[in-house]
Every structure is written in structure tokens, then in C-alpha cells.
Amino acid sequence: MRAQMPALEYLAFNLIVAIVTLVVGWALSSLAGRGVRKLAGRSARVDPTIVPMLYTVTVWSIRVFVLIAVLARFGVQTASIITVLGAAGLAIGLALQGTLQNIAAGIMLLALRPLRAGEYISVVGKGDGTVAEVGLFLTRLIQFDGVHLTLPNSLVWNNPIINYSRNATRRLDVEVAVRYGDDLELALRELAALIESHQYVLPTPKPEVMVIDYRESTTIVNMRVWVASANYWTLRFDLYRNAMQALARAGLKMPIPVSEIHAAVPIVEASK
């Protein structure tokens, strides 16, 4: 019994040290991750999109070393640990090919940067929204109605991405219908005055008002302007609201669909 006490004391000592190492290492990994995220957020050279991945890599790199140190405390050989991790990594890699594809796709998204945090994008056929985060496995978007949309990185990478925010300016086309019989030239002048006086319409490229189509009872006039990307939707809503009001003040009436119905009237011969 007495011979067993030193071994039990040694085991208890190692267990306490291992627990302390694990707790402290886990806490330090979280602290280091937050520090990296804070420093990266302050630097103008670091893209905000890459910050979540830097945080994850920092945290789990430290935690892996902590786990190895804990196992080594109990006499497990480091070489055998690396061998086991290699074999386990190969098995897990074969079993989780989709997950590895997400990691690879996340790295490609961060390296080539077709999207960045804060930009409004559309993943064609999958969803659209403002980029909130590109993580190690998932990309998170915030849709215009405030709903969070989470997509696997591989799904984002393997589909066309339309980025609406990358350029500083965007072209806006607003169509207005003018009735046949109304003064078309007057309508063109009123719409031109409307867009030229709007504070969000950029002078270059020059705004245009043009006839683009003829339909059953109306002529379609297009207002083509350029606007800063941040003001796109505000200008779009303003032009749609004010265009018909401007035409109404000029004496032009709102176009109403008109259909002509021709009915054949039977001819009745007079009785003899």
C-alpha cells in the first residue's frame, strides 16, 4: 500500500498540472484570438473579411499545442501523437471531403477577394445580402429584411457572384410610360429637369432621357443616370415617386391601359 502511494501522488500531481495547463491554455487561446481580432480590426491594411478566419486559426493552433502538452505530461510520446494525428487527419479528410472543400473555398474567397465584409452581393440562385463574415467553413450574409443567410463556402465559391458594392458608382435606369396623344417632347423635358436637379444624380457620365419602346397604349421613356453606390436605392425610390408627379404638374395624364373591342353586328334582311 505504501509502495503505491508515490505512484498515486505522482499521478494526482500530473492530473492537477494537466487540468491547470488545459484551463490556462484554453483561456490564453481565447485571449490571443481576441487580441489578434482587435489588432487586425485596428489595422487599415487588414481586410475585415479575413479577421474571423485569423481568429479561428489562432485559437485552435494554440489549443492543439495545449492538448499535445497535456498528453505529453502523462508520458505519451510526441512522435506517436503526430503519427496518430496524421492518420486521423487522413481518415477524417476522406470522410469529410465536403468540409475540406469549404475550408479550401474559404481560403480562395479570402485570397482572391470577390467579396468583402460590408459589400452587398448576390450568389446567383442561392441568395443575396450584405457580407457579414467569411469564416473557415461558412459565409454569413445579412439580407435586406434583416434575416441572416448562412451558406457553405464551397457553395459560394462554385456559383457566380454579383458584387453590387465593389464599384463606387452604379448606373440606374427608371422607365416611365407616357400616353399616346400626350406631348412627348414636354414629357422628355420635364423628366430631364427632374434628374438634372436631383442631388444624388452624378453629372458625369451625363444623365440621359430617351424613348426606348412602344407598347399598346404608351410610349416608354427611360431615365438613365449614374449614382454613388451608397445612394442607389434612395435615388431609385425618389425617381419612381416623383416622375409621375412631375408629368402630372405639366398637365400630362397617367397612362391607363385601353383595349378596343370590335363586335360584329349581324345584318338582318327586311322581310318581304
Instruction: Give CATH for domain 4-95.
Output: 1.10.287.1260
Q: What CATH number does domain 114-163 carry, 2.60.40.420, 3.40.50.720, 3.40.50.300, 2.30.30.60?
A: 2.30.30.60
Range scoring the smallest mean pLDDT among 37-41, 76-80, 166-170:
76-80
Model pLDDT, residue 16: 83
Quickly state the pLDDT bin for 73 (edges 50, 70, 90). Answer: confident
Asked whether the predicted pLDDT for residue 43 surpasses 90, the reply is no
Query: Residues of the chain with pLDDT > 90: what percent?
Result: 39
Q: With H, G, I as helix, E, B as strand and everything else as coil, classify residue 267.
A: coil
Nearest CA-CA partner of 195 in 252, 229, 238, 251: 238
Quickly state the pLDDT bin for 212 (edges 50, 70, 90). Answer: very high
0.75 exceeded by the pTM? no
Model pLDDT, residue 137: 84
Model pLDDT, residue 156: 93
Quickly state the pLDDT bin for 47 (edges 50, 70, 90). Answer: low
Model pLDDT, residue 2: 47
Q: What is the largest CA-CA distance in the chain?
A: 141
Identity of the residue numbered 220:
I
Asked whether the predicted pLDDT for residue 124 surpasses 70, the reply is yes
Distances, alpha carbon 149 to alpha carbons 35, 130, 158, in Å: 28, 10, 17
Q: Is the dihedral of CA 92, 93, 99, 103 positive or negative?
A: positive
Range scoring the smallest mean pLDDT among 8-22, 148-162, 220-234:
8-22
Domain ranges of the chain: 4-95, 114-163, 169-249
Greater pLDDT, 223 or 71: 223
Model pLDDT, residue 1: 45
* Full DSSP string of 58-85: HHHHHHHHHHHHHHHHTT--HHHHHHHH
Model pLDDT, residue 84: 67
Residues 13 and 167: their CA atoms lie apart, in Å, by 62
Backbone conformation region of residue 181, classed left if phi is above 0, alpha if psi is from -120 to 50, else beta: left
The phi and psi torsions of 131 (rounded to 5 degrees) equal: -70, 120
Distances, alpha carbon 94 to alpha carbons 78, 83, 90, 101, 238, in Å: 24, 17, 6, 11, 55
Residues 168 and 145: their CA atoms lie apart, in Å, by 24
End-to-end alpha-carbon separation of the chain, Å? 140
Average pLDDT value for residue range 119-136: 90
Asked whether the predicted pLDDT for residue 267 surpasses 70, the reply is no
Q: What CATH number does domain 169-249 carry, 3.40.50.920, 3.30.420.40, 3.30.70.100, 3.40.1350.10?
A: 3.30.70.100
Residues 55 and 37: their CA atoms lie apart, in Å, by 6
Model pLDDT, residue 14: 75
Model pLDDT, residue 199: 94
Greater pLDDT, 272 or 33: 33
pLDDT in tens, 152-202: 999 999 999 999 999 999 999 999 999 988 899 999 999 999 999 999 999
